[in-house]
Each structure stands twice: as structure tokens, then as C-alpha cells.
Amino acid sequence: MASASPSPPAPPVIFASARRRAIRARQLVRAHNGDAARYLAQDMAEDVLERLAFLRHDPARALVIGDRSGIIATALGGQGTEVLRADPVPGPGELAFDDEQPLPFTGFDLIVSLGLLDTINDLPGALLHIRRALAPDGLALVSFPGAGSLATLRDIMLSADGDRPAARTHPQIDARAGAQLLQRCGFADPVADSRELKVRFGSLQRLVGDLRDQGLTSALDRPGPPLGKAGLARAQVAFGERADGEGRVTETFAILTLSGWAKVLRPPKF
């Protein structure tokens, strides 16, 4: 009798699921503040709509995951698309689901995921779940901060930690790795691209506040120790050293977008 093939190794645990949910829940609460930062969600949502218009993809049924802005669901609903909204920590009008497990919904002509999959331990598995939930000829659009994001903050944290640098920022995925993942997961016509969104900040406190507003603080399973007063003081100095003539520091958010189709092979026509 042939022996059973060994199970594939479990992905390494880089991010803590409980921390991810807590960050998402805090983002939902902070969104009630009138001055809460929302520019990343709005930028990603508007970019998705531009891509759909360019591709002339008119879905009858769509699943929108993680769009805190509501822009995509409103636009699609206005053109007659049946839209289901979902989130690991659901807000009003959203269904709850575990984005590290197979999707409980299937048969979608379009699945959009915004700002979530950069902190998932098994990204290939998550993409495969999305692929399997698509209807034939369905399209997936996935956006999140990728390689090149928060480079200034990384430098500031290194200065703050001194001779003992700690794990404070997330590992990041670039466009090349994203395209390879799409191919591995069986997407047709895979495309991965990155664009930069630059934002100027007048203080380190405002930069950190914007990250909290938008769910971008550390979800690492083994985060570094608290910075402490001395470390915070060094971080403030490092921020000031990078400021321009107006006392502002420019930070970069590199938005990685992955897209692919669930194509159906059809016999050639003669």
C-alpha cells in the first residue's frame, strides 16, 4: 500500500490573528471621529473603480472585503450590481468572516479586497480562497500597502532603537512576488503593480495617529519591546532631522495591487 503524501508545512506565524482583529476593531471605532484619516481607503477604492472602468468589467454579483470607505459598494450598487460587503471585524452592513479560512460565499463575478492581506500569514492560501470563490470569468482585485511603504518611519525607528534594533514594522511584498503568487494560485492574466502615495506630516504623533486611524499599526506576532521615554525622545529627534524647511516629513505609502481572472477554457471556434 502506498503511503500517504505528507501534508504541506504550515506557513510561518508572522502576524497574530488577535492583534489583527484588535487593530481592525480600533480602526472601526476611530472612524467615528470626524478628522480620522481615510485617505488610503479612499485612494484604493477609487483606483479599483478606475480599473473596472478601464477593463469594462460590469459584474452582476460582487464581494467587497475591507472597504471602510463604502465607495466601491455605492458605485457598484448604483449600476445594478448585487453587492455583498464583508470584513473580519464587520461594521454596519458588513458580514463577518475569517479571512484566513475559505470564503463562505462563492459565485462572484468580482471580488475586491482592500488593506487586509498584507498582514495575513498564508497569503497564497488567502488568494486561493478568493480564486475559488469567483464565478467563471470572474475578476479579483486585491490592494494593500506593499514594499516601499513607511520607509521614513522605518529609519526613524532604527534611530530610536539605537544599537538594539527591534521588530517594529512589517515585512512587505513587492510587485514581482505578487505576480508570482497570482500565478501559483491559478489566476489567468495576472497583473501586479505598485504606485506611491506621498503624505506630509508635521509631527511624529500625527503620523502614528494616521496609522492607527487606518489600521496600519503593528500586527506582528512577536513585536519589539515598548519604545520607552528615551526611545521616543530619540524618535522625535530623528523625525526633526528629516523635516523639510516647513518642518514637515514626507512619508510614502506604496500601494500594491494584484489582479487576476478565473478564466474558463473554451473550445476553439471554427
Residue 218 lies in a domain: yes
pLDDT (average), residues 198-224: 96
pLDDT (average), residues 3-11: 64
CA distances from 87 to 28, 114, 192, 267 (A): 11, 10, 23, 38
Residue 78 lies in a domain: yes
**What are φ and ψ of residue 79, in 5° steps?**
-100, 10
Distance between CA atoms of 21 and 167, rounded to whole angstroms? 20
Residue 176 lies in a domain: yes
Residues 6+ away with beta carbon under 8 Å from 208 = 217
Residue 40 lies in a domain: yes
Residue 253 lies in a domain: yes
Residue 3 lies in a domain: no
Can you list the alpha helix ranges (DSSP code H) found in the chain? 17-30, 39-55, 71-78, 123-133, 151-161, 175-184, 204-213, 228-241
User: Is pLDDT above 90 for 233?
Assistant: yes
**Residue 56 belongs to a domain with what CATH number?**
3.40.50.150
49-64 pLDDT per residue, tens: 999 999 999 999 999 9
Paired residues of 252 in beta bridges = 198
Q: Which domain holds residue 29?
A: 17-262
Which three cell numbers, joined as nine digits, stand for 31? 472612524
Tell which residue, 242, 230, 249, has the closest CA to residue 161.
Answer: 230
Residue 12 lies in a domain: no
- Quickly state the pLDDT bin for 244 (edges 50, 70, 90): very high
Average pLDDT in the chain: 93
CA distances from 225 to 155, 164, 175 (A): 17, 11, 31
User: Is pLDDT above 70 for 78?
Assistant: yes
Residue 5 lies in a domain: no
pLDDT confidence of residue 129: 96
**What are φ and ψ of residue 191, in 5° steps?**
-135, 135
pTM above 0.85, yes or no: yes
In the three-class reduction of DSSP (H, G, I as helix; E, B as strand; rest coil), residue 57 is classed as coil
What is the CB neighbour count within 10 angstroms for residue 5?
6
In the three-class reduction of DSSP (H, G, I as helix; E, B as strand; rest coil), residue 198 is classed as strand
- Number of domains the chain is built from: 1
107-155 pLDDT per residue, tens: 999 999 999 999 999 999 999 999 999 999 999 999 999 999 999 999 9
Paired residues of 82 in beta bridges = 61
Distance between CA atoms of 40 and 1, rounded to whole angstroms? 55
